[in-house]
Amino acid sequence: MLIPSYFIVNFEEYDNVPDVILPVNAYLSYRITPNSIHSIDSFYQKMFLSARENLFCLLLQMDHISNLLEEKNESMVDLLISFTFHKRYIKVNGDNPLLLIKINNPSETTYVAGIVSAFKKHGYDTVEVKLISNNSTAFQNIEGQNTYFNLTEGDGKLSLAYTDSIKQVSSRDWSFFFFVSNPQQLGSILENIGAAEQVIQSDLPQLFHLLSENISIRSKEHQLNRKIADLEEQLNSFDTYHSRLSSNRYKRQITELLTFYKEQYEVLPLWYKQFGHIIKVIMGKRTFKSLFNDKVKKNRN
């Protein structure tokens, strides 16, 4: 797909989502609402036992998240975050999970900091958040970077609406969000979008080329970010190993010195040690009185 696109279905419809192979730049997103949160355990089990290969992310409602944060419902927050541990969960900029959030008004964005904080407690550097405005109007532009598609049964205007939306794209960070009421129609929806992109390629070749190049560049950027994250992890491992190795090396040297002292000195006969003390007195390195009184200063300055 020419634009990063997210096909959003309610998680209760998971069993009805056809096992289709999504095109490049297309992803599934499972919507979790306050009314359905209490039945999320079965969905959780299905996700981690499933052999499906499509990448996915979660979509939450901001009012639901705000309630969980205010109520300090840490167990439910932890459960939602644990979805991001799935091997097919979408990660961007290294290892940062993606989270789609549907908001009702701009003031709700104040809770984003609380969401990031919750993810950091689980070891993430941060979380990539994409906000979607709560707008029921089909094909409504959101904040100049997102387009909202509310797909109903038998929506025959998708191809035209998709083409018109492609023409309005003015940022490399633009995203499309398809709210699918009937996930069983996902295959036909993808066919309609594919047909629309063929028309765009024929009628608007320059735009098609630019968007295709953007896909390639974003893919390379993602690979480089992944490589940077791996290198940083390796560097941290090397630093930790070096610090531990240095510490162990010093401990080993001290142990070797103590062992040498015990093995080479302590085993000497008493007369030999006493003769050594007399030699020190003769050489002027030790006081004569110290041979008879331990309280007297032993070494000379």
What are 93-137's pLDDT values in tens digits? 778 899 898 887 777 777 788 888 888 888 888 888 888 875 544
Q: What's the rounded Cα separation, in Å, for the pair 274 and 254?
A: 26
Assigned token pair, 117 = 């904080």
Q: SS3 breakdown of the chain: % helix, strand, coil, rounded to 5?
A: 55, 20, 30
Q: What's the rounded Cα separation, in Å, for the pair 150 and 18?
A: 19
151, 179 Cβ separation under 8 angstroms: yes
pTM here is 0.70
Q: pLDDT for 136-172, tens place per residue?
A: 443 344 444 677 676 765 556 788 888 888 888 877 7
190, 151 Cβ separation under 8 angstroms: no
Main-chain dihedrals φ then ψ at residue 5, nearest 5 degrees: -130, 140
**Which H/E stretch holds residue 96?**
strand 96-103
Pairing outcome for strands 146-151 and 140-142: antiparallel
Q: What's the rounded Cα separation, in Å, for the pair 44 and 80?
A: 9
pLDDT string in tens for the chain (301-residue length): 888 899 998 888 888 888 888 888 899 999 887 777 777 888 888 888 888 888 899 998 887 777 777 777 778 888 888 888 888 999 887 788 998 988 877 777 777 888 888 888 888 888 888 888 755 443 344 444 677 676 765 556 788 888 888 888 877 778 888 888 888 888 888 888 888 889 888 888 888 888 888 878 877 877 777 777 777 777 777 677 666 666 666 677 777 777 776 666 666 676 666 666 677 766 666 666 665 666 556 565 5
